[in-house]
Structure 1
Amino acid sequence: MSGGNGQHEGMGFRHSPTGPRVAPRPQPGFTPAPPPPQVQRGAGAQRPGFRWGRLGSAVFFTILLLSAGIRAYRDLSAPDAWSFWMDQYVSPSLSSTLVTNAEAGGGRAVLAVSGRIGPAAAIWLRERIKESQLKPGDVVLLSSPGGNLEQGVLMGEIIRAHGLSTAVGVADKGGRVRAGFCASACVFAFAGGQTRYGLDGSALGVHRFTSEAQGRALGQDAVADTQRVTGSILGYMTRMGVSSQVIEAMSQTRDIRWLDPGEAETMKLVTTPVKAL
């Protein structure tokens, strides 16, 4: 009785939830499955997807290059993009000389700018002003036959933003300022001066202006575009303190009209007549 109960009790303890687990005996003919292979982490090991990762990065980088190239091609294929790029990076149409000796400008620095006003002239001038470390009251000396109307206006805005003065003339290697001329779009750059010096013998020339937009508008709505440009120019000259009389003088002729010193002063284009800088 005790033996039977003990065997029964032992079996009950073995299958009890709180009793010790006993590993089941393997069935005859059963072969356990081998363990899964370990992934090697050595130097020569190849990670899954490694080749595809590098290939995907190369494809992505190639797509970026192609998209940038297409964008650059579209930018340079615009009507004025190539000339702008050339004027800014390859062969600027303007040149400059910094004069710092006391013989010019009454002790002020003078940045002598000469040449035709190209499609990137405003950016070029801003960089030259920064390089020259011009301070308010320093002089931008202009000598130019004109060029791009919009760039001339932007040059004037930059000159005014830095509190610089303007004059018309050229500077020789000795720092002496000689008489010069400033015509067409150059007059708008000159108008940006906080003080506008009228050098004895120098000349300002005006004529009927045309913008790039006006040229493209021919045959479409040239009259409306001319009115828009005229309003913008008039607003600019008014902000610079120049009389609207200069706009009237511009509209009278296609040829250059050279203003005499009295006219330039009456129009408030020249604020300070001087014999020499």
Structure 2
Amino acid sequence: MRPSPIAVIGLLAILLSVPAAAEALSFETASYPSCGGCTVVFAAGDIDIDAGDRLLAEARRRGLGRGTVLVLDSPGGRLLGGLNLGRAIRQLGFDTRVGRLDAEGRPADGICASACALAFLGGVRRDVSPGSKFGVHRFYFPGGTRSYDPDEIGALQELTGNLVAYASGMGVDARLVSVSSARSDLRLLSADELRSFRVVWNPMAFSPWEVRTFRGGLAAVSHSADGRADLSLFCDETGTRRAVLVHRFDPPLGADEQTRYRRWFRSAGAIELLGRQVPVRGADFASSGDELYLALRLPAGFRPRPGAVPRLAEASGNIDYTVGAGNLEPALDAAFRNCVAR
């Protein structure tokens, strides 16, 4: 259900009129072996109107791109600054977390509230650790309550629509906008609410396996939560067992990323699939800006290794997908049953 424009006027008013930040959002970049050598950018301070532009400049200067983790610790700031920062985060393909660096430079829990909550939604993958806080609240004009003339109400209604469109465009339940207007004090969302509103979100969380018809036979399919990636296991017309990964990218892969995937494929020896090593030799591969396609030829009698993590992965991390575990065995039995040439 879409929120009433009148219900969120209090939210919008202060977002438009927050005073300039005393200490603007700053960025500190680090690399952490614990996340496979990923790059982490810690962002702390109040969100000003130029925060998104500074993040884009930092990313260009350091060559940061898809998969970089932006860790936010901010009480809020400017509405437009939060929206612009969120759009910059999505443009870069960054993930978002809530947290900070402590006095000794170690990762610690943090807070993300108000305009920071809007910026946070720009993350491709989003997570709030149990000890961190994610807060929203109703806002108001400084100086107390006031009435609105028709022109102001019209402008606020338009902005309400923009906020709903922004949240929906980031894959978040638009009810979050309405919930934000329900209380005048800071409301910290519970873990259940964060998941329910899709504030916490992993688009690459794969579904349990399904059995689908495919070219006169059956295929076992596990797909990502956002519907952009699929792994299919099936027998082709020659009776060969196949594993096919298709990943449709948004935002599209940049030229450097496409080159990196092609180099990987030329040099890769094997890929781990469901706990087994599968040679890359004889595989079909294609990488464009919009799509990655990988078709592996599986050995006869291929079965998952008991107790293995259900994943398709390669040691360098260029390919790394944890796929569904539920219903794997019966789905695989159906897909590989009577694996003969048709």
The two structures have a TM-score, normalised by structure 1, of: 0.59
Task: Render the CA deviation track for 1:194-213: whole Å, top value 9, x for unaligned.
Answer: 000221211110123579xx
The CA RMSD over aligned residues, in Å, is 2.8
Q: Does the Cα contact within 8 Å between 1:183 and 1:206 map onto a contact in 2?
A: yes
Q: Counterpart amino acid of 1:231? A: G
Could you tell me which of 25, 33, 49 is aligned with 1:102? 33
Could you tell me which of 119, 140, 165 is aligned with 2:70? 140
Structure with bigger helix share is 1
Q: Does the Cα contact within 8 Å between 1:165 and 1:195 map onto a contact in 2?
A: yes
> Is residue 160 of structure 1 aligned with residue 97 of structure 2?
no
Which runs of structure 2 are paired with 1:162-181 in the superposition (5 Å)? 162-172=92-102, 176-181=106-111
In structure 1, C-alpha distance between the alignment counterparts of 2:114 and 2:98, rounded to whole Å: 13
Indicate the residue corresponding to 2:120 in structure 1: 190
Q: Counterpart amino acid of 1:261? A: A
Could you tell me which of 143, 146, 162 is aligned with 1:232? 162
1:210–1:138: structure 2 CA closer, same or farther, 3 Å change rule? farther
Which runs of structure 2 are paired with 1:1-277 in the superposition (5 Å)? 93-103=24-34, 105-172=35-102, 176-209=106-139, 219=149, 221-272=151-202
In structure 2, C-alpha distance between the alignment counterparts of 1:108 and 1:175, rounded to whole Å: 17
The alignment partner of 2:128 has SS state of: strand
- Structure 2 residue runs of 5 or longer lacking an equivalent are 1-15, 142-146, 203-342
Q: Counterpart amino acid of 2:37? A: G
Q: Counterpart amino acid of 1:108? A: C
The alignment partner of 1:221 has SS state of: helix
In structure 2, C-alpha distance between the alignment counterparts of 1:158 and 1:174, rounded to whole Å: 29
In structure 2, C-alpha distance between the alignment counterparts of 1:200 and 1:133, rounded to whole Å: 31
Q: CA deviation at 1:132?
A: 2.8
Task: Render the CA deviation track for 1:46-69: whole Å, top value 9, x for unaligned.
Answer: xxxxxxxxxxxxxxxxxxxxxxxx
Q: Rg: which structure is higher?
A: 1
Q: Percent identity?
A: 34
1:210–1:130: structure 2 CA closer, same or farther, 3 Å change rule? farther
1:160–1:154: structure 2 CA closer, same or farther, 3 Å change rule? same
The alignment partner of 1:269 has SS state of: coil
Q: Does the Cα contact within 8 Å between 2:23 and 2:46 map onto a contact in 1?
A: no
Task: Render the CA deviation track for 1:33-88: whole Å, top value 9, x for unaligned.
Answer: xxxxxxxxxxxxxxxxxxxxxxxxxxxxxxxxxxxxxxxxxxxxxxx9xx98xx8x
1:173–1:141: structure 2 CA closer, same or farther, 3 Å change rule? same
Indicate the residue corresponding to 1:52 in structure 2: none
Figure out how many residues of one structure are paired with residues of the other and give that number: 182
Moved over 3 A (4+): 172-176, 217-220
Q: CA deviation at 1:241?
A: 0.3
The two structures have a TM-score, normalised by structure 2, of: 0.49
Indicate the residue corresponding to 2:270 in structure 1: none
Q: Does the Cα contact within 8 Å between 1:155 and 1:189 map onto a contact in 2?
A: yes
Q: Does the Cα contact within 8 Å between 1:187 and 1:204 map onto a contact in 2?
A: yes
Task: Render the CA deviation track for 1:182-233: whole Å, top value 9, x for unaligned.
Answer: 000001110000000221211110123579xxxxx95562211211111000
Structure with bigger strand share is 2
1:200–1:162: structure 2 CA closer, same or farther, 3 Å change rule? same
1:236–1:210: structure 2 CA closer, same or farther, 3 Å change rule? farther
The alignment partner of 2:188 has SS state of: strand
Q: Counterpart amino acid of 1:191? A: L
In structure 1, C-alpha distance between the alignment counterparts of 2:95 and 2:29, rounded to whole Å: 14
